[in-house]
Structure 1
Amino acid sequence: MVEPKLPGAVERYVNLGDCYDRAGLQSVRAELTACMKGYKGCYQRAYRCLTAAAQIGEDMRAALITPAVEARLARRTRGILAREVKKSGKEPGKAVQRFLGAITWKGIVCNFDTVDALCRRVYELSDSYGLGHVMLTHLATGAMAAGYDVILCPSPMWPDRIEHLLIPALSLAFVTSTPALPYGKRPYRRLRLDAMADQEVMRHLRARLRFSKKVSAALVEEAVESLAQAKAMHDELESLYNPHVDFDRVYRIAGEIIDELSSRLPDA
């Protein structure tokens, strides 16, 4: 629940609790209590696993991101900007952040269809170790400097990192493709970022990287399983509640709120 800061003057409370058949819910009280046993624990386990997986991923990335690799990525980025992002002569563009993917009970998902709907040309960044953030940061900065608005899509695992970049005005996108979540479509161009890492360092760390990837994948799998268990519990909870909810009243309240908000909109 979002607590109103100025109730009555700006916001107001909407009490959907009045839509419950409380007498009916009393008859399934024991079942409601039983079906949620362990629910919170499922989410706690999922968060612990994802936190551990993220730390392992950050360890791999830190081992491979060297000044030489960053310079190599920056140099490649300058070539892409010169070819794809011509100066518009306008004021610098702006950036908005939008999550394109998530870690859910179905696994790691990404709405690549949104990319295809907004951009005809898609660069696929094949990236197993999180090197793409450096390139995407330079690309976003260059595009905004040239006068284009950009959409920055953070990683659900590492929200401080850019995972995908969309420049709708140029119908141009850069998406990160990983072994766990490949782009799966024919890109405009494909860049193998793994090949830009220091190959001597890669050889030296081969066993460590292989082990880290295996453990990280297992942790994510365990997190997804925990989320699936939590969803199953919530589905059971809904099946118990739904017969005792006056949905006509819920929809009527929703309609009243829509009308209220619509009345505040300026005339077209």
Structure 2
Amino acid sequence: MVERYVNLGDCYDRAGLQPLRQELMGCMKGYKACYQRAYRCLTAAAQIGEDLRSLLLTPALEAKMAKRARGILSREVKKGDGEAGRAVQRFLGGVTWKGVLCQFETVDTLCKRVYELADTYGLAHSMLTHLAAGALAAGHDVIVCPSPLFPDRMEHLLIPSLSLAFVSASPSLPYPKRPYRRIRLDAMADAELLRRNKARLKFSRKVSAALVEEAVDSLAQAKAMHDELEGLYNPHVDFDRVYQTAQAITDELTARL
């Protein structure tokens, strides 16, 4: 396949846009800064989250979660006779101008049995890793859903062939339906660690939430600027030509299947 650029700039009425030059440039003033501020806030929130996780994720807790995962696998995942399954990665949620979102309805569409992992401090990755490995070894394909703030860390796991899912839920982003099973990961953490660090944990969560809120606000500002820009551009775009170009590319790709 030879890559190429698709120049949608040819679909603009350049003569019509020329008088709007200053307005167009004004719309984007501060646009880049909004995204930079959002990224800084999210990076800081992620660092706080990592600090909380490393504080509570002891070898004893990891052993507890591994044991619990083995019990779940023995009940829910039967070994097949075929080859190992295949894993694909898909983001199920993200931080957007509307807030922190997760498409739990996708989970409910693909899986009828949903384990909710009540997880305030981002501890679920270790358990999900064991569950994913067990399902793959049994020959089932899995959908691994990374965390938007920690892309190298698993936040949800879907096994459509078994109609089985494991979703992380927190006070700020709860699973909206009644789950098949609920596992309180917070309760599995060392009680003495939780007690001794209660004030620190509470303060860190509050600061992290404020940073995410600031990031969302910055993304909303960027969205408003982009909407204003679109409002100026759209009357001067030949959308019929855009759609024709899209259809031509679709036909070309379909012909290669």
1:56-86 alpha-carbon deviations (Å, 9 max, x no partner): 0000000000001111111111111111111
* Whole-angstrom CA distance in 1 between matches of 2:128 and 2:184: 14
1:100 equivalent in alignment to 2:92: yes
The alignment's C-alpha RMSD in Å is 0.9
Q: 1:158 aligns with which of 144, 150, 158?
A: 150
Equivalences for residues 41-56 of structure 1 within 5 A? 41-56=33-48
> Identity percentage over the alignment?
75
State the secondary structure of the residue aligned to 1:27.
helix
Task: Tell me which of 41, 46, 50 is aligned to 1:58.
Answer: 50
Normalised by the size of structure 1, how large is the TM-score?
0.94
TM-aligned CA deviation for residue 23 of structure 1: 1.1
Which of the numbers 210, 216, 220 marks the counterpart of 1:228?
A: 220
User: 1:92-115: per-residue Cα shift (whole Å, max 9, x none)?
Assistant: 111110000010000010111111
Alignment of 1:1-268 (within 5 A): 10-265=2-257
1:90 aligned counterpart, secondary structure? coil
User: Where in structure 1 do 4 or more consecutive aligned residues deviate above 3 Å?
Assistant: none
Any idea what SS the aligned residue of 2:165 has?
strand
TM-score (norm 2): 0.98
**Aligned with 2:140: secondary structure?**
coil
Secondary structure of the structure 2 residue equivalent to 1:28: helix
Within 2, Cα distance between the matches of 1:260 and 1:77?
Answer: 47
Letter of the 1:104 counterpart: T
5+ long unaligned stretches in structure 1? 1-8
Q: Which runs of 5+ in 2 are unaligned?
A: none
